[in-house]
Structure 1
Amino acid sequence: MPLQMKLTAITLDCADPEAMAAFYREATGFELHPGSGADFAGVTRADGLAIGFQRVDGYRAPRWPGQTVPQQSHLDFTVDDLDEAECLLLELGASKPEHQPGGDRWRVFTDPAGHPFCLTGA
């Protein structure tokens, strides 16, 4: 019988954990994690799932889609309206790379620390 594990957190490296938590709090509506500070900050969904951000000295942002600094991981989010979500994310500080392999099915963005993430329509 396989071990039953429940995902409780995802943690990403970055240079500024508090800025990353602020970005994802605005983008997702998650609450700020109570243990947030200068070296670690995070956001938590009502069911307990957390996205954390840890300070790393000398952090180098991923270079998506290139591999000079590989992405290593990325997050996927579902939204009701791709165009509306894109406008909000760009206002919050996300970037939209020129390379968009998803066509009309999904869109790739990078957060303020350079981590790629994708949006798909609901």
Structure 2
Amino acid sequence: MIGNLQCVVLDCAEPLPLARFYQALLGGTVNKRDRRWDLSDEWVTLHTASGQVLAFQGVEDHRPPRWPESDHPQQFHLDVGVEDLDRAHQQVLASGATLLDDGGGTRGWRIYADPAGHPFCLVLERPRPRNP
């Protein structure tokens, strides 16, 4: 092993509003003090409830991805597991997401864009079998 993942960094035009969007989606703390980096208007972090960290970096002239076009590639995407796909769908739309693909209405996933245009998926979590 060479190193440990510290965070996933998303380029965007407005870091703080995008961090707040992902806070509504994933929980956690925006701009929690962390010895690994300094916080600024151009560098905002989200320490999620699960312990993972997302960072949002302000980029001048940011060009949002356009799913599924390759001339504006995805740059990254997140899969977010949910227990109730319909309820989560309503919540992300209310938080500012845009539906890109409903998965045909019968699949266990849907694709959205966050307010800065980055795609992410809501994926229905299947109940885990219980050990007898």
User: What residue ranges of structure 2 are gaps of 5+ in the alignment?
Assistant: 33-37, 126-132
Question: How far did 1:98 drift?
Answer: 4.4
Match of 1:115 in 2: 118
In the alignment, the residues of structure 2 paired with residue 17 and residue 93 of structure 1 have an alpha-carbon distance, to the nearest angstrom, of: 15
User: What residue ranges of structure 1 are gaps of 5+ in the alignment?
Assistant: none
SS at structure 1 position matched to 2:121: strand
In the alignment, the residues of structure 2 paired with residue 101 and residue 52 of structure 1 have an alpha-carbon distance, to the nearest angstrom, of: 32
2:91 equivalent among 88, 91, 95: 88
| Alignment-mate amino acid for residue 85 of structure 2 | L
CA contact (8 A) 2:27 2:49 kept: no
TM-score of the pair, normalised by structure 1: 0.88
TM-score of the pair, normalised by structure 2: 0.81
Kindly name which structure, 1 or 2, has the bigger radius of gyration based on alpha carbons.
2
Instruction: Kindly report the root-mean-square deviation, in angstroms, between the aligned alpha carbons of the 2 structures.
Output: 2.0
Greater displacement, 52-61 / 25-34: 25-34
Match of 1:13 in 2: 11
Q: What is the percent sequence identity of the aligned residues?
A: 38
Q: Which ranges of 4 or more aligned residues in structure 1 deviate by more than 6 Å?
A: none
2:47 equivalent among 40, 44, 49: 44
Between the two proteins, the alignment pairs up a number of residues equal to: 120
